[in-house]
Structure 1
Amino acid sequence: MSRFAIDPRNLFVRTRFSYEKLPGNDSQNGSPLFPTSIKSWRYRKGLERWRWPRLSFARLIILTVTLSLLLTSLIGSGLYRRHQWKEAEKKEGQREPYNWEHYPRLNGFYSGVRNLVPFSDWVSEQTFVKNAEANHLLKTEGQSTARPGQQPPMDPVPFNPYPDYNSYEYLEEYNPVRTCYLDEEGKVNLPDVYAYPGIPQNMTEPFFGSYKELGISDSLCFDRFGRFGTYGYGFSREEGGLGMSGKSEALGADKIWRTERKVDYRNVKWAKAQEKCYEKNKIRFDKDALTEDGKKPDPAKKTLPRHAYVLRTWTGYQWSDYQILTLRAMINELSLKSGGEYDVHFLVHVKDDHLPIWASDDLYRQTLEENVPEEFWGMATLWSEQQMRMYYPEPFPNNVFNHAKADVHSVYRSAHFAIQWFSQIRPEYDFYWNWEMDIRYTGHYYEFNTQVGNWAKQQPRKGLWERSSRYYIPEKHGSWKNFTDLIEEDIFQGDDKPVWGPPKFENTGMLESPPESTPPRTYTADRYEWGVGEDADLITFNPIFDPAKTNWVFRDDVSGYDPELPVPPRRCAIITVSRLSKRLLDLMHEETYKMRHHMFPEMWSPSVAFHHGLKAVYAPHPVFFDRNWPLDSLDNVFNHPASPTESVFGWGEHNQLGSTFYYNAGFSSALWRRWLGSRENDEGGTDEEEKASGRMCLRPTLFHPIKKERGAED
């Protein structure tokens, strides 16, 4: 298999600001060519034309020579600057490679469906390479025996991560689940997702996180047909699909249609499907609800929490067909198949502040319909920065440092205002998932979201903030129990006191913390008991770190606290993607409107949770890298930086470029597009898949950011 070469310069994802160079005044505003205004030419009063000054012959000669010298100087200066720019560009192309760029590339990701083996026979790429080196063998791209035209050795099967809703055990504990449908008449069944019950031989192992620890299926993989085929990828627009698979390598993909029916998505109205599904299953969530025959449900049965899955988008957003596939998957898998446990929403930022969307129903409806695909009408809520200025009015005084040089109500500095506001106007949910439009997932949404929540619920409070500040590297740290013990030893030997309840710090004007956030016993007396069985108030997908110990550029964007006292302690998680409890969002809301407290979005929810002693957890989901990092180096760089300037959450963030999940992870988009069947950097694509081991089949993986998508048809 050919190697996947990435130009490191192409790994950077453009963002509004550079973490290493702050925005400043535009140096190009003034022109060096004309230091004085052209208005210096005199307009003589009473005359109807410009008048040239009178010049003697000698003065004319001097002026001519002077202008000649000035022109020559300017031309020479321009040529010299052009030379300097070219030399700078040349040096940029020949820059000193980062240390991680010297590590060997990993290519097991691209092993296809013809290389599938049972999980018990699978050997990871890292292990294969290590064994080859230990035995002085020639390192190859793996042990592929696939032949062109060969069918995959396994068939795809429906993947079902839901409880057995009809089992005796489930019905003993919960009210029954009533089946939901895509249409109002109850005739169009919900589509299934298909996975291969194996892994391509020598598939790469993630460096961070653990399938086993989170309880996510690790012995199977998803190709693009099994994952998205039933959502319209695998059939034509004339049949109600999206017709995206015509040029793709597809051997064996048609087997999903042996048991699956194609859905005409032109007739699906997702909002109505979600609403009807919830109404049919209301008694599962509300003890005061009535059954369809008007009776009260069994009070002994447990109720389930409800989740709002909120995707943040904006007017003018380009809804691609790939985005449509992802959203259909979310709604079907999270909401409809679960009997209404989740509701998917769109929180749409109206970028034109002059539109009074709150004043006119017609204007509101028109704006929504112009900016959201018809199949999702009814699921969107509009908001604007101007609306937030009225909801959370100024002042937000005593800002420490506004690095972004932006208004406090700008979405860049206050993206959390909208989700706080949404939680107040839609208070019926227990949890709110703050999600982004540029996240993708190869696995099943219900399994991922539910298992992450269940795992966080079982985490003890002791050492939790400290564990959540580190990346979990199973090959380095061993089991989660061993990782917990390592963190405890670090706490014992370190100078910082462990977090145990709300921290004490100098302040004036803080809200009272919930009484249940007070620890029931001392830190040393606790035996990893407090917090077990308690739902997490905050779940993040990157570590929750102390920004004061880094040079993260927005660490001082703090407002509303007493400037005569030290800046309050903070916590931060890069990327605002998270699950937040209603309790946490209520505190964030009150801190904002009552106390006028404010921080940069990625600091705000972790810091409020920290200040009030709430349960916050970093979920160690699997993260892959494109290089074979030595484990000691990986641990030192990501978990033990020698100085704040080396933190991977600041100037050392270039170390994240080759990963599958970070705000600027360049490898993420490239790997995702290869999985979709596209050709990247002259590698991959249909021809290569057909000649080699077939289309890619990846284990469940969370990708961010995905700024553009294309597949084999492009």
Structure 2
Amino acid sequence: MKGPFSRIPAMLWPRTSSLYTQLPSHGLSEYGAPHTPYTDSSPLGSPRLTSASWRNLKRTTSQSRLSMGLRRISTKRILAICAFLFIVLILIVRGKYQERQRRIEEEAREREKQRNPFPWANFTRLDGFYSGIRTLIKYDECVQEQNAIPHLAMKVHPAPPLDPVKVDPYIKSSDHLKEYYPVSPCFLDEDEQVPAPDVFAYPGIPTNMTGPYFGSYEEIGVKADRCWERFGRFGPYGYSYNKPERGLGLSKSSERSGADKVEAMFRKVDYTRVNWGKAQKRCFEKNKHRFDSNAKPPKDQDEKGAAKKKALPRNAYVLRTWTGYDYSDIQMLSLRAMVNELSLKSGGEYDVHLLVHVKDTTLPIWASEEIYQQVLQKNVPEEFWGITTLWSEQQMKTYYPGPYPAKDQFENHSGQDIFGVYRSAHWALQWFAQQHPEYEFFWNWEMDVRYLGHYYEFHNGVSSWADKQPRKLLWERSSRWWIPSLHGSYEDFSRIVERETAASGAKPIWGSVEFPTAGLGMLPSPNGTTPPTPFEEDNYDWGVFEPADLITFDPLFDPATSSWGYQLDVTGYNRTLAPPPRRAAIVTIARLSRRLLNSMHEETWRMRHTMFPEMWPPSVALHHGMKAVYAPHPVYFDRVWPLEHLDGVFNHPKLPEGSPFGGGEHNHQGSSFYYNAGFSGALWRRWLGAVEAGNGGYEFEEPGTGRMCMRGLLHHPIKWERVA
């Protein structure tokens, strides 16, 4: 027997022999009459019946009919019983099947747990990231995926239902222009025939789009109601047009729904002819009056009799790279976007620099211009020669000679030399800041960071938000992740931190932090770092509209409460005493003020003090009472985290061993920003149109909902990238 019941034992099947009664045949003998031989040989002949025989036949027939009726009644009953037994049997078989399936699923889950021992690895996956451009809706109609499981109905259009728009986040309000001069437009070429290009986004987001767990777009001044796809974001920088047109031709295998509209909105530029260094300098000269109160404004901005307007601070945007670095096509697009959006379109508020580590310490780049140029031209694309500065570890040995004896180091967890970039990457930035007094702020940026969004909008938004933060409980707020879905608004979150700090009995940080030095002394703190009032009397006033000395993109945590491996990589302090108080922020990208870098420089060369790179700037800021803040940018996770569990894991670990900065760092693997965030790179490559782990790419996007369209997002780390 074959079929769904083929494995049922034979004894459970009902017997069929008694279900059917032998029907009477045309032979009378079947009714029990005695057989009488035919006397007539004719085939139509029949036996002759007597009266007695007739009576016997009638009686036999009546009895037979009664017997047949009884048999029919019995058959109905038997059929009903058998049907009942059959139903019971089906239920038994179904129960056994379901039990077997549950056992198989439990075994599969157990195997999965053995492969993924961490609780988060078994959470439900989120896939709203991959909703495409043909499902766009207005932002106020969107319900983020975590709040809409199971998913809402998704309407897929044949083309994007919304049209792309130019993104122009530069401040042009009348209030701003009352205080500051407007931007004089900048160009890519010396003849001013090729204006700095615009970029384009869509005024909506895909249906069922996933929402961030940490941080907020609105809080840091980034528009949450638009999304970016690859043609509008990178098309103006050469992504989509072909190499004969001097583009990179990366879109040949891309889904193209609505791409023609985007491409019609920008001009194709031959970037191989652009000298970004000269373009930045021309832009600054054209807008010099915006940053120097003594510089004369152009005639069209010179309002006779009007008071001079305020000067804006300038920013150095420093990308840390090295000899032998592979500048991929996507990296080239990102660098062009940085220079254009941060520097040229802003009228010179930023200058982008490549700070290149020359690994070969035998090359005297500081002594020979010829060698300097050879190293530069061999290791950096020609477009960026004019924005590059070289340095080497040998150079830092002469700049910060020490000594830094091993006896003055609390611990060397990595085993690396103190002059090596691994332990002292900040020295090159300190040195760079000393060479460039024209900048007020320095952005320390890594080459494995990508921003999916407009660079100026993000950086200006973060800076403006940090300026507005009051000093009271700022270190305490900045030591935690803000989870809006759990904590409410940032104001609500601030009140929660205030209550938790009071309940803990810990002394809040207020001004500079003093600690024993056993006669070694400390450098004086800069002006403006002494609190104007006692902590209890401050009404969240001190620090408001004060530029932050340090802006980080992960919380500023206390290493002493964690299991972070580098927490005691502290050099130059008295080892007969406890280690000095410290703070750290994982991932070294940050904005540092000139006064913070000056203090770091003085502490290093004068006091022989230093710490691990992710700990040094926050700790100097802590010691000298500077304004430091963690900016709550949006961070996504690839799974559905229960909010209370998320808060407990990241903000309230029970033991140092479970800290998210140490033993609990595995919890970041499914996030979009951390040093070990595996999901970050996978999400970035999917957005670029590549196949990732068998998913995505043209075969997924074209018959589905189109290419991805996401809101601005800071990705780290991106260790490799590719397009379709």
Cα separation, 1, equivalents of 2:708 and 2:299: 50
User: Among residues 314, 320, 325, which one is paired with 2:333 in the alignment?
Assistant: 325
The correspondence for 1:106, drawn from 126, 130, 146, is: 126
- What's the counterpart of residue 318 of structure 2? 310
| 1:223 corresponds to which of 225, 229, 252 | 229
Query: How do residues 378-397 of structure 1 correspond to structure 2 at under 5 angstroms?
Result: 378-397=386-405
User: Of 457, 461, 480, which aligns to 2:467?
Assistant: 457
Structure 1: runs of 5+ lacking an equivalent: 1-90, 130-138
Contact 1:330 1:445 in 2 (8 A): yes
Residue 672 of structure 1 deviates from its aligned partner by 0.3
| Alignment correspondent of 1:430 | 440
Give matches, 1:581-596, under 5 Å.
Answer: 581-596=593-608
Map of 2:415 onto structure 1: 405
Measure the CA separation in 2 of the matches of 1:116 and 1:295: 42
Give the 3 Å change call, closer, same or farther, for CA 295–169 of structure 1 in structure 2: closer
Within 5 Å, give how 1:542-553 maps onto structure 2: 542-553=554-565
Task: Identify the residue that residue 645 of structure 1 maps to in structure 2.
Answer: 657
Matching of residue 620 in structure 1 with residue 632 in structure 2:
yes
Match of 1:174 in 2: 180
| 1: CA distance, partners of 2:221 / 2:112 | 45
Is 1:494–2:500 an aligned residue pair? no
The structural deviation recorded for 1:215 is: 1.4
Q: Is 1:253 the counterpart of 2:259 in the alignment? A: yes
Residue in structure 2 matched with residue 704 of structure 1 by the alignment: 716
1:102 offset after TM fit, Å?
1.3
Does the CA contact (< 8 Å) of 2:443 and 2:590 recur in 1?
A: yes
Residues 462 and 528 in structure 1, CA contact (< 8 A), matched pair in contact too: yes
Picking from 644, 654, 668, the partner of 1:632 is 644
Question: What is the distance in 2 between the residues matched to 1:221 and 1:282?
Answer: 34
What is the CA-CA distance between 1:92 and the residue it aligns to? 12
2:208 to 193, 202, 213: 202
Q: Which residue of 2 aligns with 1:538?
A: 550
The aligned counterpart of 1:664 is 676
CA distance in 1, matches of 2:484, 2:389: 41
The amino acid that maps onto 1:638 is F
Q: Deviations over 1:383-411 (max 9, x none)?
A: 00000000000212410010111110100
Alpha-carbon distance, 1:258 to partner? 2.9
Q: Distance in 2 between matches of 1:609 and 1:122?
A: 41
Out of 648, 665, 684, the position equivalent to 2:696 is 684
Give the distance between the partners of 1:660 and 1:516, measured in 2 at CA: 36
**What is the TM-score normalised by the length of structure 1?**
0.83
Structure 2 partner of 1:60: none
| 3-state secondary structure, aligned to 1:415 | helix
Q: Measure how far apart 1:180 and its partner are.
A: 0.3
For the Cα contact (< 8 Å) 2:231–2:263, is it kept in 1? no
| Correspondence 1:367 to 2:379 | no
Partner amino acid for 1:586?
N
Percent identity between matched residues is: 59
Equivalent residue for 2:8?
none
In the alignment, which residue of structure 1 is the partner of 2:143? Answer: 123
Could you report, residue by residue, the CA deviation over 1:9-60 in whole angstroms, capped at 9, with x for unpaired residues?
xxxxxxxxxxxxxxxxxxxxxxxxxxxxxxxxxxxxxxxxxxxxxxxxxxxx
Give the alignment partner of residue 349 of structure 2, picking from 323, 338, 341: 341
Q: Look up the match of 1:186.
A: 192
- Which of 574, 578, 588 is matched with 1:566 structurally? 578
Superposition map of 1:44-193 within 5 A:
94-129=114-149, 139-140=150-151, 142-146=152-156, 150-164=158-172, 168-193=174-199
- Confirm or deny: 8 A CA contact 1:144 1:693 kept in the other structure: no
Query: Does the residue aligned with 1:418 lie in a helix, a strand or coil?
Result: helix
Larger Rg: 2
Label 1:677 to 1:649 Cα distance change in 2 as closer, same or farther (>3 A).
Answer: same
Partners of 1:614 and 1:606 lie apart in 2 by 9
Structure 2 distance, partners of 1:436, 1:317, is 12
1:655–1:291 distance in 2 versus 1, CA, 3 Å:
same
Q: Which amino acid aligns with 2:501?
A: I
* Amino acid aligned to 1:498: P
Gap change, CA 1:487 and 1:686, over 3 Å in 2: same
The residue number in structure 2 matching 1:512 is: 524
- The separation in 1 between residues aligned to 2:414 and 2:302, in whole angstroms, is 54
CA-CA distance at 1:295 after TM superposition: 12
Q: SS of the residue aligned with 2:459?
A: helix
d(CA) in 2 for partners of 1:600, 1:623? 25
| 1:288 counterpart (272, 294, 299) | 294
Structure 1 distance, partners of 2:588, 2:606, is 23
Inter-partner Cα distance in structure 1 for 2:113 and 2:127: 25
Cα contact 1:182–1:189 (8 A) shared by 2 = yes
Deviation per CA, 1:454-508, whole angstroms, max 9, x where unpaired? 0000000001000000000000100111100000001111131000001121113
Map of 1:11 onto structure 2: none
Distance in 2, Cα, partners of 1:247 & 1:95: 35
Question: 2:250 — aligned with what?
Answer: 244
Deviation at 1:254, TM superposition (A): 1.3
Q: Distance in 1 between matches of 2:633 and 2:664?
A: 22
Alpha-carbon deviations, 1:182-229, whole Å to 9, x = none?
A: 000000012111110001011000000011111110011000111001
4+ residue segments displaced more than 3 Å: 91-96, 167-171, 290-299
Task: Tell whether the 8 Å contact from 2:402 to 2:605 is kept in structure 1 after alignment.
Answer: no
Amino acid in structure 1 at the alignment position of 2:265: T
Q: Which secondary structure does the structure 1 equivalent of 2:664 belong to?
A: helix
Structure 2 contact 116–122 (Cα < 8 Å) conserved: no
Kindly provide the amino acid, as one letter, of the partner of residue 548 in structure 1.
Answer: A
Q: Deviations over 1:59-86 (max 9, x none)?
A: xxxxxxxxxxxxxxxxxxxxxxxxxxxx
Q: Matched residues in 2 for 1:640 and 1:345: separation?
A: 39
> How many Å apart are 1:287 and its aligned residue?
1.3
User: Post-superposition shift, 1:288?
Assistant: 2.1
1:267 aligns with 2:278: no
Contact kept? 1:289, 1:296, Cα under 8 Å: no
Q: Please give the TM-score of this superposition, normalised by the length of structure 2.
A: 0.82
Q: What's the secondary structure of 1:517's corresponding residue?
A: coil
Structure 1 residues 168 and 450, CA, compared in 2 at 3 Å: closer, same or farther? closer
The 2-side partners of 1:295 and 1:525 are apart by: 45
1:563 Cα deviation after fit = 1.4
2:238 corresponds to 1:232: yes
SS in structure 1 of the partner of residue 615 of structure 2: helix
Kindly state the Cα deviation for residue 145 of structure 1 after the two structures are TM-superposed: 2.5
Seen in structure 2, the aligned counterparts of structure 1 residues 495 and 588 have a Cα distance that, compared at 3 Å, is same
Distance in 2 (alpha carbons) for counterparts of 1:691 and 1:606 = 49
Q: Measure, in 1, the Cα distance between the counterparts of 2:562 and 2:182.
A: 51
Give unpaired runs (5+ residues) of structure 2.
1-110
1:211 aligned residue = 217
Moved more, 501-510 or 151-160: 501-510
More displaced stretch, 264-273 vs 296-305: 296-305
Aligned equivalents of 2:182, 2:721: Cα separation in 1: 40
What is the letter of the counterpart of residue 573 of structure 2? Y
Q: 1:195 to 1:388 in 2, by over 3 A?
A: same
Give deviations 1:605-653, integer Å, cap 9, x for gaps. Answer: 0000000000000000000000100000000000000000000100110
Secondary structure of 1:489's aligned partner: helix
Calculate the aligned-residue CA RMSD, in Å. 1.6
- Deviation of 1:704 after TM superposition, in Å, equals 0.2
- Count of residue pairs the alignment pairs up: 608
| SS of alignment partner, residue 528 of structure 2 | helix
Q: Does 1:606 align with 2:601?
A: no
